[in-house]
Structure 1
Amino acid sequence: MFGIAWGVGSLLLLVGLGEGFRSGNKKQFSDLGENVMFIWSGRAPALNGSFTGLRQYYLTENDYDDVVREAPHVKIAVPVLSRGDVRAVSEFFNSSGQLLGVPPAFNQIRYIPIDDGRWMNDLDNSEKRAVVVLGDEARRVLFPGRPSVGSIILLNGIRFQVVGTLKRIGHGDNNTLNLRIFIPYNTMRQYYPPTGVGELQNAINFINYQPVSREVHELARQEVHKIIARNHGFDYQNPDSFDEWDTIRTVDQIGKIFDAMNVFLGSVGLVTLALGAIGIVNVMLVAVADRTREIGLRKALGATNGSVMFQFFVEGAFLTLVSGVIGMAGAAAIMAGLAQLPQPPGFDTPRLVPTTAVLAISSLAVAGILAGLYPASKAAALQPVEALRKE
């Protein structure tokens, strides 16, 4: 019985843990946004076709404009300005999180959950208004236990009004995303342009874009490559010239890893279940041997082969069923206990996967049939005279 219970329980629990990791990773990526893709400035060959020297190139607003105009498989794109050296000061405390200048459409690509107030609008951007939206941790630091919307903060000495705050993103102690501070793109361009980009007046730090659908993300990526390579004078077929991150590809790769892990963990559980079924078969064979005289007496009194076979088949199947139910209950109890514990980043509460439950029940049924059928057939094959002679 223990083998069957352990096999069913381990099958459900191991696959449930794998699904917990899969779900946790999906949530981490959903904190960035849906189907979001990044491309930053990069390094290209100094001479087209050369592989010896590299030169730095910087993305510009021209690149962004061309992507919007010429890439049919790009649904939406936004330019982003970023600085990490801007000091935010309130009347209570100060913070040095990342400052981002973004257009209003940024929240259509990236995950921006508003907690209080509002997000930036087109007028904020076109009129270069001094308004700011605070990430959750930035709000906690700058306004501990106090209302923030409507208050004033200083960004490198320039007054900005807080118009909105964000909900907390992610889990655990990683506050990088929550320390971000957002201001309108044109305001950022005026007061805090990118640094380290030479004499370029229209440089941007990176572009976020989203394909028309997940299925065409490679086409969208190739279109963006061609545009940037053309604008900066290098071959788009050189992948080392691009500094980028395709979260769709990463999610798909991680999904394949978890699929392989689920197959492996499920196989371990099935092997354990098979060993448990063999154990049940051995128990029932011993029972047939110990009850040989009983079988002979029953058959001498008129019991048919079918009735004897049915008796032992039911006993074997019942033992298997009880063992499987114990295993399922144990796995469910462990999952419920884990759900009460704080979950680390990248891991979600293990859950019962319906397909795995169906697989476990199907495997349990097969194990029950095997565990009952063979010993039952052995019992039914006994001759009454020989069985009654057995001591």
Structure 2
Amino acid sequence: MFWESILIALEGLKANKLRSALTMLGIIIGVGAVITMVSLGLGVQQKVQNSIASLGSNLIIVMPGASKSVGGVRSEAGTNITLTNQDAEAIAKIDGVLYVAPDVSSSYQVVYGHQNWNTKVEGTTTDFLTIRNYSVDIGSFFTNSDDQTRSRVAVIGQTVATNLFGGISPLGQTIRIGTAPFRVIGVLASKGQSSMGQDQDDLILVPLHTAQDRLLGQTYVNSITVQAENDQVIDKVQQNIVTLLRTRHHLPAKADDDFTVRNLTAIMETMKETTGTLTLFLGGVAAISLLVGGIGIMNIMLVSVTERTREIGVRKALGATFNNILMQFLIEAVVVSVTGGLIGILLGVAGAHIISLIAGWKTVISFLAILAAFGVSVSIGLFFGIYPARKAALLDPIDALRYE
């Protein structure tokens, strides 16, 4: 009887092709929208995670300011002059610290011949490459000796190389940063854009002391990037950095910190939570159309019961039981939702790929999202099909045979 009920259900759907297609449309759009929206949300989540990971692993960022109140107003991170090269050297001696890279930076107009480009110039140490996951494409990176002797050497990003030199090799060429001449000794390998849309290749790296003495004229640093040995010790290292800097800066016990220490792992967890909420929100909004599709199924099934009242009466008169009639109409509702769900899956996957190709947004197709959307569509078919099916099964055969 089960397979016979399926055949009868399919025949009923074939007899009203347009109505069946319109009934499926709500489910198709709902499933397709859920898969597409979740794919977009997961794509954003993965892009953010990859971007944060590209900064380096097990990182701790130390910034001046943001914790010390000035006139009742907290100053922004990076605005106070509280971190020095000596702070960075002391942090490097903490147990669990692998690398330390103090940093100073500013924007400059860089000139080569008749070409010029405005970019970020960053003074740092040799540990920068390891900490920030950069690598040198051609040439070499500056050395500790270059830093100690304040050598005017520079390593440039791919964006700077393209805009200043075009097809010419930058190695050995002299550029002017502000009014100071620098010799290009290397070009960094490309890293692309960050999650915030920043071009990670649009920068110039010079030795820290060279930048402080010959460009900026400052003795303090704008930030200190620290890489811990592993994620097990990162929290302990962070606490030790806070204790060390409070001691070095002679801060009383009740005084606020005059620096900010951020754990990149914690930042990543926060971003994952935020983007996960965004993904759920997008999926939830799209799922509303599934509910609308389910109401459409119930509506059409009620119309079908009314149209086929005499048929139901004949079947019951010939011995069809309550369960036979209930099964027939339930199967019809499920067939509509299953067929709509399968088409919706194809539409959703195709939609995600099309958006990725046309808009350039990263999308991630989730098998779990596909399975969940399909499962919900089948469940909706069952849920909204029960009332019409039960109504059909409860019809009195005599009243049904008299129905015109």
TM-score range, shorter chain: 0.7 to 0.9
- Contact kept, 8 Å, 2:174 with 2:184, in 1: the verdict is yes
- Contact kept, 8 Å, 1:230 with 1:236, in 2: the verdict is no
Matched, 1:355 2:368: yes
Q: 1:43 to 1:266 in 2, by over 3 A?
A: closer
CA distance in 1, matches of 2:73, 2:385: 73
CA distance in 2, matches of 1:109, 1:385: 83
Match of 2:55 in 1: 32
Q: 1:62 to 1:84 in 2, by over 3 A?
A: same
Matched, 1:137 2:159: yes
CA distance in 2, matches of 1:45, 1:241: 5
Matched, 1:61 2:74: no
CA distance in 2, matches of 1:115, 1:122: 20
Aligned length, in residue pairs:
377
Q: Report the alpha carbon displacement of residue 187 of structure 1 after superposing the two structures with TM.
A: 5.2
Q: 1:365 to 1:303 in 2, by over 3 A?
A: same
Q: 1:81 to 1:265 in 2, by over 3 A?
A: closer
Match of 1:102 in 2: 124
Trace 1:1-391 onto structure 2 (pairs within 5 A).
1=23, 2-42=25-65, 57-70=81-94, 72-84=95-107, 88-91=110-113, 93-120=115-142, 131-155=153-177, 156-170=179-193, 177-185=200-208, 188=211, 192=214, 194-197=216-219, 203-214=220-231, 217-235=234-252, 241-243=258-260, 245-343=262-360, 348-391=361-404
TM-score using structure 1 length: 0.80
CA distance in 1, matches of 2:197, 2:290: 41
Q: 1:4 to 1:211 in 2, by over 3 A?
A: same
Structure 2 stretches lacking a partner, 5+ long:
1-22
Superimposed CA distance per residue, residues 161-196 of structure 1 (whole angstroms, 9 cap, x where no aligned partner): 42333315217996664332123446556x637524
Q: Report the alpha carbon displacement of residue 319 of structure 1 after superposing the two structures with TM.
A: 0.8
Q: 1:65 to 1:157 in 2, by over 3 A?
A: closer
Match of 1:200 in 2: none
Deviates more, 1:288-297 or 1:255-264: 255-264
Superimposed CA distance per residue, residues 43-102 of structure 1 (whole angstroms, 9 cap, x where no aligned partner): 88699xx989999543223211221213x35443222243545x6443453445333333
Q: 1:298 to 1:46 in 2, by over 3 A?
A: closer
Q: Report the alpha carbon displacement of residue 306 of structure 1 after superposing the two structures with TM.
A: 3.6
- Identical pairs, percent: 25
- Contact kept, 8 Å, 2:61 with 2:263, in 1: the verdict is yes
Q: 1:237 to 1:246 in 2, by over 3 A?
A: farther
- Contact kept, 8 Å, 1:81 with 1:193, in 2: the verdict is no
- Contact kept, 8 Å, 1:153 with 1:162, in 2: the verdict is no
TM-score using structure 2 length: 0.78
Q: 1:43 to 1:328 in 2, by over 3 A?
A: closer
Q: 1:239 to 1:311 in 2, by over 3 A?
A: farther
Superimposed CA distance per residue, residues 3-40 of structure 1 (whole angstroms, 9 cap, x where no aligned partner): 32232223223323322332333344344333433223
Q: Report the alpha carbon displacement of residue 237 of structure 1 after superposing the two structures with TM.
A: 6.7
Superimposed CA distance per residue, residues 340-370 of structure 1 (whole angstroms, 9 cap, x where no aligned partner): 2244xxxx42333333222212212211222
SS of 2:339's partner is helix
RMSD: 3.6
- Contact kept, 8 Å, 2:27 with 2:340, in 1: the verdict is yes
CA distance in 1, matches of 2:69, 2:372: 58
- Partner amino acid, structure 2, of 1:292: T
SS of 2:395's partner is coil
CA distance in 2, matches of 1:349, 1:46: 42
Superimposed CA distance per residue, residues 141-175 of structure 1 (whole angstroms, 9 cap, x where no aligned partner): 32122222344445544452423333152179966
CA distance in 2, matches of 1:118, 1:353: 42
- Contact kept, 8 Å, 1:194 with 1:204, in 2: the verdict is no
- Contact kept, 8 Å, 1:133 with 1:166, in 2: the verdict is no
